[in-house]
C-alpha cells in the first residue's frame, strides 16, 4: 500500500491522508474510497453509539472527514440531529457529542475525496429538509454524469451547498419523492438517471434504505442485531458491533427496512456485475467478505499465483504493510520460501503528520516504515506489495532493503500493471502519471532498482474471486463497464 501516490496538485490529495507520510506528502497512497453505515433499531433504541463504532471499523476507507446523522421515527418529520467534522472518527467525536445524537434511525460516513476539495462543507452524511420531511444520505462511489446532472438541476433553480456528486443524488431523490408514493420509488427513479458507481444508505422519517448501483462497483451488506437492521460497506463493521451478517445487497438492488421487515427491488440490476477488483486486492480490511468471498483468501490466492508465475530462489518473503502481507504469505505457502517480517511500521503517523521540507523528502519513507536489518541482512528477499502507481515510493523501499543489507530484492505485485484512470471511486490518476503506461516491466524493474519484477497476470485475475468474472478491471484494461466521461472531471465533483 506504499506506492499508490497521487500528486499534491490534485485537490483530493492532502498530507493528512493515512499514508501520505510515507512519501513525504508530495506523493501519497491510493485513496481508500469512502465507508457508509446505516442503522434502524425497530425497538426504538439509540443507534448513534453503534454507528460510531461501525465507522471506527471502516476508518481505513477514509480519513479526511466523518459524520453521523440520526432522527427518531416516532418524532416529528424534521427532527434530525447531525454531527460531523474533518479528521478521524476518534478525533471528531467525543462522548458529549454522541450523547446529543439521540435517534433510533441514522446513517454515518467516513470520507476520502477521490477528487474535489477536502473541505468541511463536503463532509457527509448529507441532510436535506424538504416538503416530505428529512432525508439523511451517505454515499460511496463516483458518478460519471454528475456534472451534466448538476448543470441541468442548476438551470432549474437548484442551489447546491457542496461540490460533491452525493448532493446531486440527494437532490434527485428529493425531487422524485414529490412525484411518487414512497421514498424507495424515489430512490429507484433517481437511480435511473445517475450513472456510475454508488452504494447508498438513505434514512427517511420512517424507513432505512440501502441501494447499490446496477453493476455493484462498491460493496454494501446487510446485518442484524437483536431487532435492529444495519447497512455497512464491509462485514467487519458488523462484527465490531456484534451484529450478524444477513447477506450482501445485490448489484442494482434497493433494500428497504421498515417496521414490517425487509423489502427488496432488484429490477435495476445489470446483466453482468462489475465489482471493483481492487476492493479485494487493497481497499478492504482482510477480515471482510464481499459477495461471499473472503478478502484475506483473495490476497493469499494472489500471492500463490505470483509464486507460480514468477518463481525465484530466495531466502525470505516479506510483505509491505498492510495489504501486501497476506499476498506475501500466499507466495511463501506456494513457494516454500519462509515468510518473515522485514518492516517496522509507525502506527502513530497519521493525519497530523507534518510534511517535511523538500530537502528532507527523500528520506521521509522511513518516517512511516523502517527495515529490520536482522531480518534481511545477507539474504535474498522477495518483497510483495499490492500495486505500483508512479514507482518512486517502491524504489525507496527497495533501496531501504538494500541499505539494510539485503543481497537481492525481487519485487512481486499482487495486481496487474495500472495503465488507465478509474472514474468509479478509486483514485487512480491519469495515464500519463502511471509508470506502467509508458514503460515496460523490464524498464520498471530497472527504475525500482530491483533484481526482478513480476505482476499478477491479468488473465488470472478472476481466480481472486473463485473464478467469478463479474468484476471491473478497467484500470488495467481500459474496459470500462460504464462509459467514462468525455473529459476527466474528477477534480470537480466526487463522492
Half-sphere CA count of 444, side-chain side, radius 13 A:
25
Dist CA 205 CA 203 (whole Å)? 7
pLDDT for the residue numbered 117: 61
Torsion angle (degrees, nearest 10) of CA 373, 378, 384, 388: 80
User: DSSP of 83-109, one letter per residue?
Assistant: EEEES-HHHH--HHHHHH---SEEEEE
pLDDT for the residue numbered 397: 95
Render pLDDT for 398-449 as a digit per residue (tens, 0 to 9).
999 999 999 999 999 999 999 999 999 877 778 888 999 999 999 999 999 9
Render pLDDT for 30-80 as a digit per residue (tens, 0 to 9).
554 799 999 999 999 999 999 999 999 999 999 899 999 999 999 987 899
Span 318-342, average pLDDT: 96
3-state secondary structure of 391: coil
C-alpha cell at 3: 506506492
C-alpha distance from residue 9 to each of 15, 54, 120, 136 (Å): 12, 32, 19, 32
- Domains along the sequence of the chain with CATH: 35-277 (3.60.20.10), 295-477 (3.40.50.2020)
pLDDT for the residue numbered 379: 98
473: pLDDT strictly greater than 70:
yes
Half-sphere CA count of 184, side-chain side, radius 13 A:
21
* Cell 454531527, residue located: 83
CB neighbourhood size of 95 (10 A): 9
C-alpha cell at 349: 503517523
Dist CA 284 CA 219 (whole Å)? 10
C-alpha distance from residue 14 to each of 21, 117, 306, 439 (Å): 10, 10, 33, 28
Q: How confident is the model at residue 487 (pLDDT cuts 50, 70, 90)?
A: low
User: DSSP of 253-271, one letter per residue?
Assistant: -EEEEETTEEEEE-TT--S
Render pLDDT for 4-40 as a digit per residue (tens, 0 to 9).
333 322 233 322 333 333 333 333 345 547 999 999 9
Percent of the chain that is helix, strand, coil (3-state, to 5): 30, 25, 45
118 close to 159: Cβ distance less than 8 angstroms: no
pLDDT for the residue numbered 113: 65
85 close to 123: Cβ distance less than 8 angstroms: yes
3-state secondary structure of 126: strand
Dist CA 252 CA 267 (whole Å)? 7
C-alpha distance from residue 68 to each of 47, 81, 202 (Å): 10, 8, 12
Span 95-109, average pLDDT: 96
428 CB burial (10 A radius; 0-12, 13-18, 19+): buried
Residue 424: phi and psi, rounded to 5, are -120, 25
pLDDT for the residue numbered 112: 82
User: Could you tell me which residues come within 8 angstroms of residue 445 by beta carbon, excluding any fewer than 6 positions away?
Assistant: 411, 451, 452, 453
3-state secondary structure of 394: helix
Dist CA 142 CA 195 (whole Å)? 9
C-alpha distance from residue 198 to each of 34, 72, 94, 276, 396 (Å): 10, 26, 30, 11, 35
pLDDT for the residue numbered 369: 85
C-alpha cell at 476: 488495467
C-alpha cell at 388: 505500483
Max Cα-Cα span within the chain: 72
pLDDT for the residue numbered 346: 78
Span 100-114, average pLDDT: 91
Q: How confident is the model at residue 98 (pLDDT cuts 50, 70, 90)?
A: very high
154 or 23: which leads in pLDDT: 154
C-alpha cell at 390: 508512479
pLDDT for the residue numbered 469: 84
233 close to 226: Cβ distance less than 8 angstroms: no
pLDDT for the residue numbered 366: 63
pLDDT for the residue numbered 222: 98
Dist CA 238 CA 398 (whole Å)? 38
Per the annotation, the verdict on 34 as an active-site residue is yes
Render pLDDT for 164-221 as a digit per residue (tens, 0 to 9).
889 999 999 999 999 999 999 999 999 999 999 999 999 999 999 999 999 999 999 9
Q: Out of 34, 221, 276, 422, which one is annotated catalytic? A: 34
Dist CA 424 CA 157 (whole Å)? 28
pLDDT for the residue numbered 3: 38
C-alpha cell at 173: 431523490
- Three-state SS annotation for 422-462: CCCCCCCCCHHHCHHHHCCHHHHHHHHCCCEEEECCHHHHH
Amino acid at each position: 500500500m506504499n506506492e499508490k501516490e497521487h500528486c499534491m496538485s490534485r485537490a483530493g490529495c492532502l498530507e493528512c491522508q493515512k499514508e501520505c507520510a510515507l512519501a513525504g506528502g508530495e506523493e501519497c497512497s491510493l485513496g481508500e474510497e469512502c465507508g457508509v453505515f446505516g442503522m434502524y433499531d425497530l425497538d426504538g433504541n439509540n443507534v448513534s453509539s453503534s454507528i460510531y463504532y461501525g465507522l471506527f471499523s471502516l476508518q481505513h476507507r477514509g480519513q479526511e472527514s466523518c459524520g453521523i446523522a440520526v432522527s427518531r421515527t416516532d418524532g416529528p418529520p424534521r427532527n434530525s440531529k447531525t454531527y460531523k467534522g474533518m479528521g478521524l472518527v476518534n478525533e471528531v467525536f467525543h462522548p458529549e457529542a454522541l450523547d446529543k445524537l439521540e435517534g433510533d434511525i441514522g446513517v454515518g460516513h467516513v470520507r476520502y475525496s477521490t477528487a474535489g476539495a477536502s473541505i468541511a462543507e463536503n463532509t457527509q452524511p448529507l441532510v436535506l429538509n424538504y416538503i416530505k420531511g428529512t432525508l439523511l444520505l451517505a454515499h460511496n462511489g463516483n458518478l460519471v454524469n454528475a456534472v451534466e446532472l448538476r448543470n441541468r438541476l442548476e438551470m432549474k433553480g437548484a442551489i447546491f451547498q457542496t461540490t460533491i456528486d452525493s448532493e446531486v443524488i440527494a437532490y434527485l431523490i428529493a425531487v422524485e419523492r414529490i412525484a411518487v408514493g414512497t421514498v424507495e420509488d424515489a430512490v429507484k427513479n433517481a437511480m435511473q438517471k445517475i450513472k456510475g458507481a454508488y452504494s447508498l444508505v438513505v434514512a427517511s422519517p420512517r424507513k432505512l434504505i440501502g441501494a447499490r448501483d446496477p453493476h455493484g462497483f462498491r460493496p454494501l451488506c446487510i446485518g442484524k442485531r437483536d431487532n435492529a437492521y444495519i447497512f455497512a460497506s464491509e462485514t467487519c463493521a458488523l462484527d465490531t458491533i456484534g451484529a450478524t451478517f444477513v447477506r450482501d445487497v445485490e448489484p442494482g438492488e434497493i433494500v428497504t427496512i421498515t417496521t414490517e421487515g425487509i423489502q427488496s427491488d432488484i429490477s435495476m440490476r445489470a446483466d453482468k456485475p462489475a465489482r471493483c477488483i481492487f476492493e479485494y486486492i487493497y481497499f478492504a480490511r482482510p477480515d471482510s467478505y464481499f459477495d461471499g468471498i473472503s478478502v484475506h483468501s483473495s490476497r493469499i490466492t494472489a500471492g500463490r499465483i505470483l509464486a507460480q508465475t514468477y518463481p525465484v530462489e530466495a531466502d525470505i518473503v516479506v510483505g509491505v504493510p498492510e495489504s501486501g502481507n497476506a499476498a506475501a504469505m500466499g507466495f511463501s505457502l506456494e513457494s516454500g520460501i519462509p515468510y518473515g517480517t522485514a518492516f517496522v511500521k509507525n502506527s502513530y503517523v497519521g493525519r497530523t503528520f507534518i510534511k517535511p521540507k523538500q530537502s528532507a523528502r527523500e528520506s521521509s519513507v522511513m518516517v512511516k516504515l523502517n527495515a529490520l536489518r536482522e531480518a534481511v541482512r545477507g539474504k535474498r528477499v522477495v518483497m510483495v506489495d499490492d500495486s505500483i502507481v508512479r514507482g518512486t515510493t517502491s524504489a525507496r523501499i527497495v533501496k531501504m532493503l538494500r541499505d539494510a543489507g539485503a543481497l537481492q530484492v525481487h519485487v512481486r505485485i499482487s495486481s496487474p500493471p495500472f495503465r488507465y484512470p478509474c472514474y468509479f471511486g478509486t483514485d487512480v490518476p491519469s495515464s500519463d502519471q502511471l509508470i506502467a503506461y509508458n514503460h515496460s516491466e523490464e524498464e520498471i524493474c530497472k527504475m525500482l532498482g530491483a533484481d526482478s519484477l513480476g505482476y499478477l497476470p491479468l488473465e488470472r485475475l478472476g481466480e481472486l474471486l473463485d473464478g467469478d468474472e463479474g468484476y471491473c478491471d478497467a484500470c488495467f484494461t481500459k474496459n470500462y463497464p460504464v462509459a467514462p466521461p468525455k473529459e476527466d472531471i474528477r477534480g470537480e465533483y466526487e463522492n
